[in-house]
Amino acid sequence: METIKEIQEEIIEDFEIFDDWMQKYEFLIDLGKELPQIEEQYKIEDNLIKGCQSRVWLHAEEKNGSIVYSADSDAIMTKGIIAILLRVLSNQKSEDIINADLSFIDEIGLKEQLSATRANGLVSMIKKIKLFALALGKR
Amino acid sequence: MLDIIKIRSKFPILSRKVNGQDLVYFDNGATTQKPQVVIDAEANYYANENSNVHRGVHFLSGLATDKFEETRNTIQKFIGAKHKHEIIFTKGTTDAINLVANGFRTLLNKGDEVIISEMEHHSNIVPWQMCCEQSGATLKVIPLLNNGSLDMIAFENFLTENTKLVSVSHISNTLGTINPIKEIIEKAQAVGAKVMIDGAQAAAHISLNMQSLGADYYCFSAHKLYGPTGVGILYGKEDVLNELPPYQGGGEMIKEVSFKKTTYACLPHKFEAGTPNIAGVVAFKSAIDFINELGLSNIAKYEEELLQYATEEVLKIEGLKIYGTAKNKSGIISFNINELHPYDIGVIVDKLGIAIRTGHHCTQPIMERFNIPGTARISLAVYNTKEEIDICINAIIKAKQMLS
């Protein structure tokens, strides 16, 4: 299994080939369309991360010692961002998720592409992902 | 005819770049940009005139007070108020509504009714919910029709002798609907209710005259009229303001203070506790002067022309739906395209240098009414041009292509 660090490095490489923002956005949109859908039964209030602009549902379960996430959003760009986060953090061990240093977000220019309000949404998503890992890891 | 190129040259921010592109600013419903005269007036106040108002005997205090009161005179004329002391300086529209709603907490009793509408900004909903919760009064909500105008029949059916206050917006910040406020005021006052009008979206676009309008309260924010942030106006009829209990206690708003009993100052000072945003108030006069030089009727005519052009052009985009199609509309276009999320459209056109607003625009009940997560919104000001509308529409088309 690839480590969080290894996957982050792959994503940084993926993003290096893009010359401009439009290609980056198109890549995010494609990832968003491919994001594995959360099952309808998990699209509940408890799993909702409320931002000012778009809604995000996040579900997590433990499988063979790893935490597996699924998610959805009503906005495609947001889905693309979640897809990247989940590529890094899903199917990992709880303590690795909690301790993950997500420096790749800055390196691929995701945070700077996103204004402060949107970057806050990103922070809430990461927080929710880590909280799930914490809760499920304790069991 | 307005010389738009000359007008644009007075706004330094309009020549800046955003994401490497020329800025196209269509978020005027949120706040307008400031002309150099306003920026200069604020800087000049601090450089040459700064002192506290209504307090000292020294030269600068007198100068600052004169400048501060000059703005009050200017506003009185601008909105056709009968008396100068009917103009209260606040922090903004939200502050003005809270000031009135807070006063009504003690004026209302169980069984009394307050009427607002489904199209209100959260700042004209929440203060009244809080007021009703505390006073035991009931809140009634005028529903919207499909075209985004008020259901006036429902409104009339709400009116009874229990109606004590009606608070509605002059223009909807989300739908652009211009409400028939004159009719609302007359009908509500006929049953003995007071009427408050939230004019945040109107004062920069429609010529106002408080004496012929007859509203009991009318409020707006300087920053939506090319003026500074942190300054707002509450207009109230003299007798109505006299009946309203003070909002905040402190300096300036008192006549005499003792531990036995404190008496309050006369209008307008009764509602102006503490040191106000003096620099902002002083600079606000320059913004009003700027509007007066252009003439509100000229501004309205030009913006109407832009609105018509923009409406026709956006409707050419396949799958685009406009929310708010009332006959009487101001320069606001809220829309969605097919199933695309407005947020996605907003972030892409932003990269192309275009500032539009996306989201619920602090009007979640409207979103619920139309069953949508939000809209993208273009809101116009006098410095916008048809060329900018073309650039914006091309960007929206580009976003649609990328997202579909």
Query: B350-403, pLDDT tens digit by residue?
Result: 999 999 999 999 999 999 999 999 999 999 999 999 999 999 999 999 999 999
Residues of A in contact with B341 (CB under 8 A): 54, 74-76
**Whole-number Cα distances in Å, B87 to B125, B271, B287:** 23, 10, 17
**What is d(CA B34, CA B235) in angstroms, rounded to the nearest whole number?**
23
* Active site amino acids of A: 52
For chain A, give the percent of residues with pLDDT over 70: 91
What tens digit of pLDDT does each residue of B23-43 get? Answer: 999 999 999 999 999 999 999
The band of A122, judged by pLDDT with boundaries at 50, 70 and 90, is: confident
**What is d(CA B127, CA B116) in angstroms, rounded to the nearest whole number?**
11
- Among the residues of B90-248, which ranges form H helices? 93-107, 126-135, 152-158, 181-190, 210-213, 238-243
In chain A, where are the structural domains located?
4-137
Residue A117 structure tokens? 């309000």
Please tell me which residue of chain A has the smallest CA distance to B373.
A54
B358 touches A: beta carbon within 8 Å: yes
User: Which of A53, A57, A73, A111 is the best mutation test for B, with the most CBs of B within 10 A?
Assistant: A53
What tens digit of pLDDT does each residue of A45-84 get? Answer: 888 887 657 888 999 999 999 999 999 998 898 898 889 9
CA B20 to chain CA centroid, Å, is 32
The CATH number for B146's domain is: 3.40.640.10
Q: Hey, are the CB atoms on A25 and B341 less than 8 Å from each other?
A: no
**Model ipTM?**
0.86
Check: CB of residue B335 under 8 Å from CB of residue B174. Answer: no
Q: Is residue A108 over pLDDT 90?
A: no
Helix (H, G, I), strand (E, B) or coil at B218: strand
For chain B, give the percent of residues with pLDDT over 70: 100
Q: Say yes or no: B201 and B321 in one domain.
A: no
Q: Which of B276, B292, B308 is the last residue of a domain?
A: B292
What tens digit of pLDDT does each residue of B36-88 get? Answer: 999 999 999 999 999 999 878 899 999 999 999 999 999 999 999 999 999 99
Q: Say yes or no: B184 and B282 in one domain.
A: yes
CATH tag, A4-137: 3.90.1010.10
What tens digit of pLDDT does each residue of B263-272 get? Answer: 888 999 999 9
**Torsion angle (degrees, nearest 10) of CA B395, B397, B401, B404:** 120
Q: Is residue B35 part of a domain?
A: no
Into how many domains does chain B fold?
2
**Whole-number Cα distances in Å, B36 to B20, B29, B47, B61:** 23, 20, 16, 26
Name the residue facing B347 among A26, A52, A77 (closest C-beta): A77
What tens digit of pLDDT does each residue of B115-146 get? Answer: 999 999 999 999 999 999 999 999 999 999 99
The band of A19, judged by pLDDT with boundaries at 50, 70 and 90, is: confident
Q: Parallel, antiparallel, or unpaired: how do β-strands B138-142 and B113-117 relate?
A: parallel
Q: Say yes or no: B237 and B154 in one domain.
A: yes
In terms of residue numbers, what domain contains B259? 40-292
Residues of A in contact with B372 (CB under 8 A): none
Residues of A in contact with B348 (CB under 8 A): 25
In the chain, the amino acid numbered B151 is: D
Q: Hey, are the CB atoms on B402 and A22 less than 8 Å from each other?
A: yes
Which residues have a Cβ under 8 Å from the Cβ of B343 and sit 6 or more positions away? A53, A54, A75, A77, A78, B358, B359, B374
B334: nearest Cα among B344, B349, B321: B321
What tens digit of pLDDT does each residue of B143-189 get? Answer: 999 999 999 999 999 999 999 999 999 999 999 999 999 999 999 99
Q: Say yes or no: B196 and B62 in one domain.
A: yes
Give the number of other Cβ atoms within 10 Å of residue B10's Cβ. Answer: 16
CA angle B200, A50, A14 (to 5 degrees): 110
Q: Which of B263, B292, B321 is the last residue of a domain?
A: B292
**What is d(CA B251, CA B66) in angstroms, rounded to the nearest whole number?**
19
User: Which of A31, A50, A76, A111 is the best mutation test for B, with the most CBs of B within 10 A?
Assistant: A76
The CATH number for B374's domain is: 3.90.1150.10
Residue A22 structure tokens? 């439009």
Q: Is residue B194 part of a domain?
A: yes
Q: Hey, are the CB atoms on A21 and B19 less than 8 Å from each other?
A: yes
User: What average pLDDT does chain A have?
Assistant: 86
B377: nearest Cα among B392, B356, B391: B356
